[in-house]
Amino acid sequence: METQNPNLFERFNQWITESIMVKLFSIGFLILILLIPASWIEDLIQERQGRANEVIREVSDKWSGTQTLSGPVLMIPFTKTERTKRWQDGKQIEELTESVHKAYFLPEEYTVSSKVAPEKLHRGIFDVAVYETDLSMKATYATPDFAAWNIPDSQVHWKEAVLLNGITDLRGISENPVIQVGENKILSEPSSDLGLLINQPIFYQNENESVTSKNQYQLTSGIVAALGWLTRPESQFTVSVQLSLKGSEGLYFVPTGKSTLVDVTGPWPSPSFEGKLLPEDRTVNEQEFSAKWKVLSFNRPFAQKWINDDQSLSGSEFGVRLLIPADQYQKSIRTAKYGVLIIILAFTALFLVEITTKIRIHPFQYILIGVALIIYYTLLLSLSEQVGYNIAYGISSIATIFLVSFYASSFLKKKSILFLFTTLMTFFYAFIFVIIQAQDYSLLIGSIGLFIIIGLLMYFSRNIKWYGDRVGNAIES
């Protein structure tokens, strides 16, 4: 019986089915299609991260926000007399004008002791770090000197001298402040307009890391205490302030003293010491932390005294932020960025198996495997919000590797080939996990790992005849 020669359509169909280049183009097209849902995954992670930040803001707004303390600052009004000239009826008239100004003085020595009592507030699956703290502040002042401004004591309004204690959020005051000047206790009142300029830390997060943004604004809240002076004090005096305060996430200080000492302690295992100045002594363990700052007037960008609004207290604030180890969103986003790499490596492994073992893998089977590799990231995100990133990564990776390998067993009949594919998938996910964990060396590890992978691909594909007419003729005997 004679064998019929295939017609043009049959030969074209056979070429489409067996051509290596067509297969490569189809796999590349599938990878491009899978980029669309991969981008949706990153948007979903960022949406969940935004929801977590929104919950933190909502809880902080109801409890009390991040607190920044500045003070005490001594403010004394004075009258300034100036001689001015003006013309009237063709004659130059000289007259005296008076204007009231405010002079601000900072303490010579300023010490703060803070014992922070943190706790976690829960809103659904999200946690927010809040705290209560008992603050003990002590400031020593030199006798206010107006001689440098050529202001005589007779023009100084000593009766109107007040102490200003800047507090970001007055809702955090849980007990009446106790202010004592020397041996005398004085009364204080809340104020919504202190007129002190300071930076308030504002926290946000992006896909790479936690970031602190500083936004300058006028600190319009705090407490004011009238000193009740009748005349100029003859010697230096000491002010002590006892304050019970509530806040969220962070507690910061402005070094208003010529010499500032701040000591903060609390039972929290993951503090972050932030601001312009780091503590000179710190201790952190699983139960508690302690930190001590020492700041001199040379370390800050503002003077010891000034008039009116000539100066801002910004530029040297420092403190502690209570971190909750919930970095699953940052790590999930970083992991999702490697999604395309995992798909390419998995498809490359299947392609090499296909052309070296004469196994036919349908494009639809490639699609199902690719979709499973993308759904992996939603599984990782949802589990990480419940059990943490590391455990979620292990569960999601094992589940995905099992699912893909179980499905691949339907067309990879040889157990040795299936075992090799499963081992490669396990290696891929383990490799990505190492990169995510080793942030400082992620570029180095990733570069070396990819170099080794490319070398292995070159080795295993060295005998393939890419221009062979048939898959069966692609391998040299």
Q: What is the pLDDT of residue 217?
A: 44
Note the pTM of the prediction, 2 decimals: 0.70
Say yes or no: 376 and 321 in one domain. Answer: no
Instruction: Please provide residue 29's backbone torsions phi and psi, each rounded to the nearest 5 degrees.
Output: -65, -40
- Segment 426-436 shows an average pLDDT of 86
**Residue-wise pLDDT tens digits, 356-384:** 777 777 778 888 888 888 888 888 888 88
Say yes or no: 386 and 368 in one domain. Answer: yes
Q: Which of 307, 325, 343 is the last residue of a domain?
A: 325
- Segment 387-406 shows an average pLDDT of 89
Q: What is the pLDDT of residue 19?
A: 59
Say yes or no: 230 and 254 in one domain. Answer: yes
- Segment 65-80 shows an average pLDDT of 88
**Total number of domains constituting the chain:** 2
Check if the beta carbon of residue 287 is closer than 8 Å to that of residue 267.
Answer: yes
Say yes or no: 103 and 239 in one domain. Answer: yes
Say yes or no: 23 and 148 in one domain. Answer: no
d(CA 277, CA 260): 12
Say yes or no: 303 and 344 in one domain. Answer: no
Among 188, 347, 320, smallest CA distance to 250 is for 320
470 — pLDDT class (breaks 50, 70, 90): very low
Query: To which residue do tokens 């507030």 refer?
Result: 121
Say yes or no: 315 and 213 in one domain. Answer: yes
Q: How far is CA 60 from each of CA 171, 204, 215, rounded to the nearest angstrom?
A: 11, 14, 18
- Segment 383-391 shows an average pLDDT of 83
Q: What is the pLDDT of residue 196?
A: 74
Q: What is the pLDDT of residue 32?
A: 76
**Residue-wise pLDDT tens digits, 261-276:** 999 999 988 888 988 8
Ramachandran region, residue 148 (left: φ > 0; alpha: ψ -120 to 50; beta: rest): alpha
Residue 176, CA atoms < 13 Å, CB-side half-sphere: 8
The answer to whether position 61 is within a domain reads: no
- Segment 291-298 shows an average pLDDT of 92
Q: What is the pLDDT of residue 23?
A: 67
- Helix, strand, or coil (residue 471): helix
Query: To which residue do tokens 């401004």 refer?
Result: 149
d(CA 172, CA 460): 66
- Helix, strand, or coil (residue 306): strand
Say yes or no: 278 and 404 in one domain. Answer: no
Q: Which of 39-43, 238-242, 306-310 has the lowest mean pLDDT?
A: 39-43
Say yes or no: 219 and 273 in one domain. Answer: yes
Which residue range is the domain that position 126 belongs to?
A: 66-82+96-325
- Residue 140: is its pLDDT beyond 70? yes
Q: Which of 283, 302, 325 is the last residue of a domain?
A: 325
The answer to whether position 338 is within a domain reads: yes
- Helix, strand, or coil (residue 124): coil
**Cβ-based neighbours of 124, under 8 Å, separated by 6 or more:** 55
DSSP 89-107: TTEEEEEEEEEEEEEEE--
Say yes or no: 43 and 159 in one domain. Answer: no
**Residue-wise pLDDT tens digits, 86-136:** 676 667 676 777 788 899 999 999 999 999 999 887 776 677 888 999 999
Q: What is the pLDDT of residue 336?
A: 80
- Helix, strand, or coil (residue 209): coil
**Residue-wise pLDDT tens digits, 160-176:** 999 999 888 888 888 88
d(CA 138, CA 236): 13
Q: Which of 264, 297, 325 is the last residue of a domain?
A: 325
The answer to whether position 73 is within a domain reads: yes
Say yes or no: 208 and 314 in one domain. Answer: yes
CB atoms closer than 10 angstroms to residue 397: 20
Check if the beta carbon of residue 179 is closer than 8 Å to that of residue 241.
Answer: yes
Check if the beta carbon of residue 263 is closer than 8 Å to that of residue 137.
Answer: no
Check if the beta carbon of residue 190 is closer than 8 Å to that of residue 88.
Answer: no
d(CA 335, CA 400): 15
d(CA 329, CA 351): 33
Exposed, middle or buried by CB within 10 Å (0-12, 13-18, 19+), for 447? exposed
Mean pLDDT of the chain: 80
Q: Of 336 and 189, which is predicted with more confidence?
A: 189
Q: What is the pLDDT of residue 137?
A: 93
| Percent of the chain clearing pLDDT 90 (strictly above) | 18
d(CA 27, CA 261): 65
Q: What is the pLDDT of residue 80?
A: 84
- Residue 209: is its pLDDT beyond 60? no
- DSSP-derived secondary structure letter, 224: E
**Residue-wise pLDDT tens digits, 13-70:** 555 555 566 666 777 777 777 777 777 777 777 777 777 777 777 777 778 888 888 8
**Cβ-based neighbours of 90, under 8 Å, separated by 6 or more:** none
Say yes or no: 235 and 176 in one domain. Answer: yes
Q: What is the pLDDT of residue 106?
A: 93
Check if the beta carbon of residue 255 is closer than 8 Å to that of residue 110.
Answer: yes
